[in-house]
Homo-oligomer: A and B are copies of this chain.
């Protein structure tokens, strides 16, 4: 029986150590900027995206040590995630004061520095990808950079965030809520989760069939993860989550429970995770971490 809990813990330790090492030190100029970048990036979190990249590489290579070679790319993905949280939390966006149990970046460093820390983390992702993957063929590295840039950009994550705040600020209530919700969820969180899985798979030299299967897995997992997040904002425990709950409803955000109801949302999570697991049929024991991650989300209680 695969022990997900210790797997996730071990991988997170690995990722945290690599992040600590890979980021510019707070002694380097400008010290305040680097301190602000490190503050948010090293503040903990599930490290879901890096873990997915590592787990996807393991599914393809069926080899733990081989999969660890993708660690710098996994860190680059976490830089993108951290930047997106810093910018999402700004007063002009979701205006959040707390994240992962600590004050948000702009509450500590000021809005200007928080914007710049986000900009720098986004840029640093590409610096890592070009400089820390020297062992891989350049064409594979370029393919990964293309994946990540597309997933993070105006037709990926940033596009989802734009649609989210436009809806919330009541500026684009013309659309069909079901379609807008689908757009927001597949773009705002889905795109980077898919890119994380694909990054691990591409670097592990997945064949086209494996890449298609892992992409399908990631699509299901990403959406299930976002619906779970919506549910946690209603039923979650503030202390465990490290942030205020009930924010989605307060901001009038478009969420799965708001559009489909709680029961149907929970049902969808189970359906999606069952599909996710099915897409892993063609893989052996190397895909056990990916299977266990889907299983864990499916069993989660609210």
Contacts and interface: CB of A to CB of B under 8 A. Distances in A.
A124 interface: yes
A203 to B, nearest CB: 14
A139 B152 CA distance: 23
Contact of A24 (B116, B148, B154, B166): B154
Interface in A1-34: 24, 28-30, 32-34
Interface stretch (A59-67, A155-163, A252-260, A285-293): A155-163
A159 B124 CA distance: 12
A130 B140 CA distance: 11
Interface stretch (A49-57, A105-113, A261-269): A105-113
Interface of A: 24, 28-30, 32-34, 37, 83, 87, 90, 92-93, 110-113, 115-116, 118-120, 122-124, 126-127, 129-131, 137-139, 141-143, 145-146, 148-150, 152-155, 158-159, 161-163, 165-166, 169, 171-172, 183
Contacts of A87: 115-116, 119
Nearest to A127: B149
A171 B112 CA distance: 13
Contact of A142 (B110, B141, B171): B141
Given A24-B155, A32-B172, 5 more contacts: A37-B154, A92-B112, A92-B115, A120-B154, A126-B145
Given A126-B149, A149-B123, A154-B124, A113 B30 contact: no
29 contacts: A24-B154, A28-B155, A29-B155, A30-B154, A30-B162, A33-B158, A33-B159, A34-B154, A83-B119, A87-B115, A90-B112, A90-B115, A112-B169, A113-B162, A116-B158, A116-B165, A119-B119, A120-B154, A120-B162, A123-B149, A123-B152, A123-B154, A124-B154, A126-B126, A126-B145, A126-B148, A127-B150, A138-B141, A138-B142
B162 A33 contact: yes
Contacts of A150: 127
A76 B149 CA distance: 13
- Could you say how many copies of this chain the assembly holds? 2
A93 B115 contact: yes
A83 B153 CA distance: 13
B130 A153 contact: no
Contacts of A127: 146, 149-150, 153
A166 B126 CA distance: 26
A87 B111 CA distance: 11
Contacts of A120: 153-154, 158-159, 162
Given A33-B158, A122-B122, A122-B123, A130 B113 contact: no
Given A30-B159, A154-B33, A165 B113 contact: yes
Contacts of A122: 119, 122-123
